[in-house]
Amino acid sequence: MKKLISLLLITSMLISMSSCSLFDKDNKKVLKVAEEYANAVVEGDIDDLAVLYEDDDEFEGVVGAYIDRYSSRDDTDEIHDIIHDNMTYTIDKKTIKSSKKSGKASVVITFTLIDYDVIYEDLDEDADVDDFIDALEDNTEEAMTIRANVEFELSRDEWKVVDENFETILDVYEFYAEIASYGFGSLHPITLNDFENALGNYDSDYYDSYTYDGIEIGRYFPYGITFRYSSFDDIDEARDCFEQTYDIFEDLVDNNEFDGAYNSYYEGNYGYILFDGASNELQYLGDHLHGGMYLSENVVVYAIATDDSSSYRQKVDEFLAVIGYPIP
């Protein structure tokens, strides 16, 4: 009799556990979506990734735009391809959690990719983008890992990826922006159309373009940032324009009157000034300056955040990445 009662109790407990837990799980389907997600991340397939997200339109607007912005140059596209070709992933099946009742699930995925930053730091000072590409191809075993806790929500009987502010995917894809920031001193003349396209969806109330004394000018000056484009008929005039600001900054740095990071290059008809800091002598521009001034043949470009807010700094960095100029 006692054995019968014990058996009934055990059976009852198993039924209770099944009804509350076992039948509520959906691990196999979550794993399938996780594999599709990880494969799409590795392949860099934005279209395949978008359909896996709960809000695919917002994904296209944020992540798709991010990828497009940093994929506008052939040399960086080749770097992206090398990184994607050597990227792998591991799904930790022991970490899968899912509940159809709550409509939530998660799993840990570890992505392994070339440690591009270490390879970049090992380059010679005069290395160019081709040297970086060669170094990546020769050092694919130099790896870094990114551990991502990927979350899902049940939407119309399908598990969809949810990623607040797309932080997880942008963390994995940080190399797009990082590589753009290397710059490699690659300066090339841009057109006014290039300048306008790099501004993105700008507010036309703060933009104007005109020709003055033979100089083609474009200006965008909303609060917190200043972008300026000047194309001169005479290369010497472009150099004179650049040298005025170049000399001012060099003097400030030499006299310890600039507090922050600073880098400069000037040779022939090419040069740049990169800065991220402040100077009492430049307070009329802003309390903190982040950006640069660039000379490329007959073209001079300014891109400066005059407010230390991260959003203004980001706009400057994104603009410079699109035109392919070094980022401070």
23-182 architecture in CATH?
Roll (3.10)
Q: What is the pLDDT of residue 124?
A: 87
Of 91, 317, 141, nearest to 225 by C-alpha is 317
User: Domain extents for the chain?
Assistant: 23-182, 192-323
272-283 tens-digit pLDDT: 888 888 888 776
117-172 tens-digit pLDDT: 999 999 987 788 889 999 999 999 999 999 999 999 999 899 999 999 999 999 99
- What does the pLDDT average to over 184-190? 72
Beta bridge partners of 146: 111
- What does the pLDDT average to over 97-103? 93
Q: What is the pLDDT of residue 208?
A: 94
pLDDT exceeds cutoff 70 at 21? no
Helix (H) or strand (E) holding 69: helix 65-69
For the sheet containing 299-305, what is the strand order? 207-212, 215-220, 225-231, 299-305, 289-296, 270-278, 259-267
Determine the straight-line distance between the first and last CA of the chain, rounded to whole angstroms: 81
Query: Structure tokens of 46?
Result: 């934005």
Q: What is the pLDDT of residue 284?
A: 66
Q: Note if the pTM is more than 0.75.
A: no
24-78 tens-digit pLDDT: 678 999 999 999 999 999 999 999 999 999 888 899 888 988 887 677 666 778 9
Q: What is the pLDDT of residue 24?
A: 60
Pairing mode, strands 88-99 and 104-114: antiparallel
102-113 tens-digit pLDDT: 999 999 999 999
286-300 tens-digit pLDDT: 678 899 999 999 999
- Largest Cα–Cα distance in the chain? 107
Q: What is the mean pLDDT of the chain?
A: 87
Tracing tokens 């075993």 back to the chain, one arrives at 141
